[in-house]
Structure 1
Amino acid sequence: MRFGFIGTGVITEAIVLGMLKSDYPVDEIVVSARTKSISKRLAKASDKIRICENNADIVNAADLLFLAVLPQDAEHVLVPLEFPPEQKIVSLIATIPIAQLQEWTRHDAIICRAIPLPSVADLTGVTAVFPPLDAAMGLFQELGTAIPANTIEEFDSFAVASGMMGLYFGFAECAAQWLCTQGTDYRGARAYLSTMLLGLANTAFQSPDESYEELRLRHTTPGGLNDQMFRRFVDEGGENALSYACQSVAERIRKNHYSQD
């Protein structure tokens, strides 16, 4: 199977590296020259990867085509291209609805949208796909876990959740800096938190039938330190802050949809 990527950024690199590590059948991967540093790095990784200067050639070469350009560049990049009607397209372009993409590709394209996370490079990613196109689901399942979204509302909610990556590292940095104020050096603080958070993530992953609330209670002694930490977090508005942040991102996504109608 031949894959094409219009747009060669961080997520394209992660997907391609994951494909090379996986057992997924790949005959050729064609990537655009932009960004040159990434495309050249990928080309050195495997002789199955070819750099292409012309986006039209990428379209013609790919059985499964990935759109990975910035939202503000999408119309300018896509409108001049001619897409064969049988081609399958996976859009990685944030916030651009399928109806708009079909207008720019100028035919009834077979398009799905996906939200791959950087960890697909290590085959540990989770990727929401809407609608769950078999070709995309099969690939992303090889790169970790593929989650089918059957409605745009469900897909958008996964998009909101993907926005928590920066929040996660910001939370960890805040905790590390607090440890440093108590006399711990940053390296030690980071090592402790990274190992603890990895352990908690593994516990959740290995306990799929337990809710997060059940896991919290299993890790909490009533009146103990974990209980005090969580109660104070709630009392200081932590839960509300997270809900407000999620709602803010959701409104931004929905506003973009409406502006395209």
Structure 2
Amino acid sequence: MNRPHASVQHTIGIIGVGEIGKALVEGLRHEGGASPAIFLSPRGTRTAAELSERFEGVQVCADNQEVVDRAEVVILAVRRQDHADALGELKVDDGKTVVSLIAGVSVDALRRNLGTAAPIVRAIPLPAARERRSVTVTTPAHPTVDALFDQLGRSLPVADEEAFNVFSALTGTLTAHYAYLATLTAWATSHGIPAESAERYVRGLFENVGRALNDESRSLDQLAADHETPKGNNERIRTTWFDPGNANALKEALDGLLADLT
């Protein structure tokens, strides 16, 4: 459930207008929501231009430096492999607030790259920010940044970058979930079910599962138990497919990703 929040009072700049950058703009303008001006980098030109046309007060800048100069809160949403080239020549005034969405790049490394004493906060907003439903992990806690992400759902400040990297690794499981659903759909299709019908059913099945997650009075283990009949169909798939070997393989994959992020 979303917490009450105040409207964002700072101009915002976004460098790197990909899927997450787009979701942030859409969330800030969700259902006609007003916020101060939003300045976008020309990186991701087509998306930036489309957002500028859709929403009042959203402007595309000539270059990344103009984004920094015009915004009070600067959000860095470029890919890790591109960040050195994209940010290396920027001059960031110490009075700005920098929010880094770049996975695997520490605050210290980014500060060296930018050569600034400005506050730097790491964050992991999710695509659900566009509906103001994202739980966004941040570190360190910062009143301006946490208020921004409260407006887009809820901020979740964590103690340090070690904890932050664990959450970052968890985020890496998102597309595996979609691939799991696609595999279920393909299996049904292989047994003669029309692809459209199979996909509609799988989507509906897991949309209902997602709604159950809103009940925070029950742990995830309890939710699993409540949806399972002893010796029933769900128990059979869980115990024969998602066995200890499968669970350990997932944990090892997460450990490898965490090591890379650290």
Q: State whether TM-score is above 0.5.
A: yes
Q: Give the C-alpha shift of residue 24 in structure 1.
A: 6.2
SS in 2 for 1:15: helix
Give the whole-Å Cα distance in 1 for the aligned partners of 2:191 and 2:246.
23
1:133-191 CA deviation, whole Å, 9 max, x = no partner?
22221111221222111121211111011111110001001111111122211111111
What is the match of residue 156 of structure 1?
A: 165
Given that residues 17 and 40 in structure 2 are in contact (C-alpha distance below 8 angstroms), is that contact kept between their aligned partners in structure 1? Answer: yes
What is the match of residue 6 of structure 2?
A: none
Which of 125, 140, 143 is matched with 1:116 structurally? 125
Give the whole-Å Cα distance in 1 for the aligned partners of 2:235 and 2:83.
48
1:231 partnered with 2:248: no
Paired residues for 1:130-209 under 5 Å: 130-205=139-214, 207-209=215-217
Given that residues 24 and 139 in structure 1 are in contact (C-alpha distance below 8 angstroms), is that contact kept between their aligned partners in structure 2? Answer: no
**Aligned length, in residue pairs:** 253
Q: Which amino acid aligns with 1:66?
A: I
Given that residues 105 and 261 in structure 2 are in contact (C-alpha distance below 8 angstroms), is that contact kept between their aligned partners in structure 1? Answer: no
Which of 217, 220, 229 is matched with 1:221 structurally? 229
1:181-226 CA deviation, whole Å, 9 max, x = no partner?
2221111111111111111111121x21211111111111111111
SS in 1 for 2:241: helix
Give the whole-Å Cα distance in 2 for the aligned partners of 1:157 and 1:184.
39
Which of 63, 66, 69 is matched with 1:60 structurally? 69
What is the match of residue 253 of structure 1?
A: 261
Give the whole-Å Cα distance in 1 for the aligned partners of 2:138 and 2:132.
16
What is the match of residue 94 of structure 2?
A: 85
Which of 31, 50, 56 is matched with 1:47 structurally? 56
Q: Which amino acid aligns with 1:48?
A: G
Give the whole-Å Cα distance in 2 for the aligned partners of 1:54 and 1:21.
26
Q: Which amino acid aligns with 1:96?
A: V
1:19-59 CA deviation, whole Å, 9 max, x = no partner?
11168651200101121111110111112011101222211
Given that residues 22 and 123 in structure 1 are in contact (C-alpha distance below 8 angstroms), is that contact kept between their aligned partners in structure 2? Answer: no
Q: Which amino acid aligns with 2:139?
A: F
Give the whole-Å Cα distance in 1 for the aligned partners of 2:82 and 2:25.
22
SS in 2 for 1:5: strand
Given that residues 11 and 37 in structure 2 are in contact (C-alpha distance below 8 angstroms), is that contact kept between their aligned partners in structure 1? Answer: yes
Given that residues 131 and 150 in structure 1 are in contact (C-alpha distance below 8 angstroms), is that contact kept between their aligned partners in structure 2? Answer: yes
What is the match of residue 251 of structure 2?
A: 243
> Which structure: greater helix fraction?
1
SS in 1 for 2:104: coil
Change (3 A) 1:98 1:58: same
Stretch deviating more after TM superposition (122-131 or 94-103)? 122-131
What is the match of residue 94 of structure 1?
A: 103
Q: Give the C-alpha shift of residue 76 in structure 1.
A: 2.5
Q: Which amino acid aligns with 2:246?
A: G
Segments of structure 1 that go 5 or more residues without pairing to the other structure are 255-261
| TM-score normalised per structure 1 | 0.92
1:7 partnered with 2:9: no
SS in 2 for 1:234: coil
- Please report the RMSD computed on the Cα atoms of aligned residues, expressed in angstroms: 1.6
Q: Which amino acid aligns with 1:177?
A: A
Given that residues 42 and 49 in structure 1 are in contact (C-alpha distance below 8 angstroms), is that contact kept between their aligned partners in structure 2? Answer: yes
**Structure 1 residue runs of 4 or more that deviate by more than 4 Å after TM superposition:** 22-25
Segments of structure 2 that go 5 or more residues without pairing to the other structure are 1-9
1:95-135 CA deviation, whole Å, 9 max, x = no partner?
11100111122122200011111121122222111112222
Which of 19, 27, 31 is matched with 1:18 structurally? 27
Stretch deviating more after TM superposition (57-66 or 238-247)? 238-247
